[in-house]
Amino acid sequence: MQVRFYANMRTIIGTSLLEISDKDVNSFRKLVDCLIELFPVAKIYLLEENGDLRPDVPVYVDGRNPRLTAAGIDSPLKPDSIVSFFSPISSGRMNVEVLREPNSGKQE
C-alpha cells in the first residue's frame, strides 16, 4: 500500500511517500501503530494521550475518511490502498506552531 504525507506531516515523517508491504498491516489502526514504530516522533502528532487518533489530523483511506465508516479507525486496508495524512488543523487553518513546539497546543 502507499502511504502519502502532505504539508507538515511530510516534515514530521521525513518523506512524502512510503510503501508498506507488511501483510499484517491490514487495518488503519495497525498502519498507525506501524508508523509510530517506524517514526516515534509521529506519536504526538497522530495520537492523543489516551491512544485515540487525534481528531485534528485529516486522514483518508482510498479517498474516504475512515472515521466516517462503520469500522472507524479499524477500517480494513488492502494491499493497493492509498492512505493520505495531512497536517493537523486548528480553527480551520493549518497548525504550523504544533511543529515548532510539541507542547504548544496543550492547555494546562
Residue range 51-81, pLDDT digits in tens: 888 888 899 999 999 989 899 889 999 999 9
Ordered by start, the domain boundaries in the chain are: 2-100
d(Cα 6, Cα 72) in Å, to the nearest integer? 22
> Domain 2-100 is in which class?
alpha beta
Amino acid identity, position 95: N
pLDDT of residue 78: 93
First to last CA, the chain: 39
